[in-house]
Structure 1
Amino acid sequence: MGESGTRQTAPAHARGKTVIIGSQGRMGAMLIQRAQAAGLAIAGADVPLTPEKLADACAGAAMAIICVPAAVFDEVTAAVCPHLPPAAVLADITSVKEQPLRQMERLWAGPVVGTHPLFGPNPEADADLPVAITPGHHAGPEHLALVEGFFADLGCRTFLTSAEKHDQAMARIQNMNFITSLAYFALLAGQDDLLPFLTPSFRRRQHAARKMLTEDARLFSGLFEANAHSHEAVRQYRQMLNLAAAGDIDLLCERAGWWWQEAESEGEHEAESAGRRKGRM
């Protein structure tokens, strides 16, 4: 069940078939693979998405999950909907939720549920696999249970949120990570005189940003532009830079320390325990 409620998910055999649209993409293929490993009823369809192929894949489906890029999302969803059973749940996995939900609700009269797996197509074997669930129109408890049950069987942890709250969070977490790294490395680009001064911490950041700013740059650029809250997040970040320019570094350090306060508290507790044990010796 999801973190936010006590809803009971239906057993796998009772949930019916799920069809993955975009089954040969990285995320679609991962969902197919994990669903097959879990013994779920699963079907897939990928380009060319002919009416015949869609009709065959969608026949008897309880849920369809759209796993295609934002640029073709509307077109693909419009092609899929005529082939779905009237009661089927239409879902997606895009990294923004407000716009895709509006698109799906415009094209599908049945239940709509947005999802966002907060991990990539090749997670570590023991990784936490959170999935945000955002209810759309006509999505009742039974439809949410269907979606949550599917991801739970894949080994994921689901939680409910709104599309707006999701997009506000992703603007600050995903999009700001991209745009600040992009601006930082763009600022330093072409300055050969800096190369002798590179430190291990710089190289770690460079290594961490490489894939995002090269192979996945177009993907993240599209996500930044598709999220209505991205520019507000940039404005908030600019306020932090203004504090740095004004010399308020201690204030920034104090604020940033929030991310590690739990670890510091645990460390202090362990130190106190060790001191008590030593005192008893």
Structure 2
Amino acid sequence: MTPASKIRLGIIGGAGRMGRWFKRQFEAEGYEVLVSDRNTLLSNRELAKACQVIFVSVPMSVFKDVVKDIGPFLNEDQGLIDFCSLKKEQNEIMLANTKAEVVAAHPLFGPGEKSLEGQKIALWPSRGQTWFNWFKNFLEQKGAKTVVVSPEEHDRTMAVVQIINHLMLLALGKLMDTSGLDLKLIKDLATPSFERQLEIVARFADQDPYLYALIQFDNPEGQAMREKYLSILEDLVQIAARKDFEKFVSLFKDVQKLSRNLKLDL
């Protein structure tokens, strides 16, 4: 790996929470890190010209404009890496607007984590290998687990991992909010597994609702997966309403088979 002293990194959107988080991680290993954001003296273009690797850590709503603006100022020896939670369209935007090496990256965690130790990040070498290998090695040396996955397969899978997961949690939170039940009593009576769900719902307090909306709305795989989930939920509601033990047990056994496979992979 090239010594840290020889590489200057730039983070566009570096004043945001995730940008600041990665800046600390890089600086802890001796890298010089430049930052550009809405209120910095350094412009995005100036940063792009000055750094070997440019990370784009901006809202997806402005991602295309940012990449189109800096793309022409990057050469084949530089690296462009994004942190977007969707990959296919964003990857195509990067490839179409720059000659630089391109790495599609999605940190599968938030800026509330203390370190990279034990965290997961999705990666794909869209163009070139130099900066993909450098970033992958950096992450793994810091204790992170890298998952190499194509942008297309990433987005299809995230339709379950993010979209349905968030939908379930939002529905649970809204149900508790409108059920008329005492919130303290819900917490007092919570089983260990339900306590873990409540802890995840509680994390919404520190999240950006606009980001979560974009995750729901922008993934082209999302609507089909939501409809499939709703269909399964409607079937379950009808099975319970009819007290159809045979159908319920059959469905439960299907999920048991899945759960055994999940345990083998954990």
The bucket for the TM-score relative to the shorter chain is: 0.7 to 0.9
Shift of 1:219: 1.5
Q: Does 176-185 or 11-20 show the bigger shift?
A: 11-20
Residue equivalent to 2:253? 254
- Structure 1 residues not aligned, in runs of 5+: 1-9, 266-281
Change (3 A) 1:250 1:88: same
SS in 1 for 2:53: strand
Q: Secondary structure at the match of 1:59?
A: helix
Cα distance between partner residues in 2 of 1:44 and 1:190: 44
How far apart are residue 16 of structure 1 and its match? 2.3
What residue in structure 2 maps to residue 273 of structure 1? none
Q: 1:125 to 1:160 in 2, by over 3 A?
A: closer
In structure 1, C-alpha distance between the alignment counterparts of 2:198 and 2:43, rounded to whole Å = 44
More divergent stretch after superposition (109-118 vs 147-156): 147-156
The answer for the alignment partner of 1:128 in structure 2 is: 118
Corresponding residue number in structure 2 for 1:44: 35
2:64 matched residue in structure 1: 74
- In 1, the alpha carbon distance for the partners of 2:147 and 2:137 equals 12
Q: What are the equivalent positions in structure 2 for 1:22-61 lying under 5 Å apart? A: 22-48=13-39, 53-61=43-51
The 5-angstrom pairing of residues 209-228 of structure 1 reads 209-212=201-204, 215-228=207-220
Query: SS in structure 2 opposite 1:43?
Result: strand
Question: Deviation per CA, 1:185-240, whole angstroms, max 9, x where unpaired?
Answer: 33454332x33873414565344213337743321111111111111211221232
Match of 1:6 in 2: none
Question: d(CA) in 1 for partners of 2:135 and 2:6?
Answer: 9
Deviation of 1:260 (Å): 4.9
Q: In the alignment, what sits opposite 2:81?
A: 91
Instruction: Between 19-28 and 104-113, report the one with greater CA deviation.
Output: 104-113
Q: Is the 8 A contact 2:116 2:139 kept in 1?
A: no
Q: What RMSD, in angstroms, separates the aligned Cα atoms of the two structures? A: 2.9
Structure whose alpha-carbon radius of gyration is higher: 1
Separation in 1, partners of 2:207, 2:50: 38
Contact 1:20–1:32 (8 Å) recurs in 2? yes
**Counterpart of 2:109 in 1: which secondary structure?**
coil
Q: How many angstroms apart in 1 are the aligned matches of 2:70 and 2:108?
A: 25
2:182 is aligned to: 195
TM-score (normalised: structure 2): 0.81
Give the Cα–Cα distance (whole angstroms) in 2 for the partners of residues 232 and 216 of structure 1.
24
74-83 vs 163-172, which moves further: 74-83
Paired AA for residue 195 in structure 1: D
SS at match of 2:14: coil
Aligned residue identity for 1:145:
N
| TM-score for both structures, normalised by structure 1 | 0.77
Structure 2: runs of 5+ lacking an equivalent: none
Count of paired positions = 252
Q: RCO greater where, 1 or 2, for CA within 8 Å and sep 6 or more?
A: 1
Please state whether the residue corresponding to 1:91 is helix, strand or coil.
strand
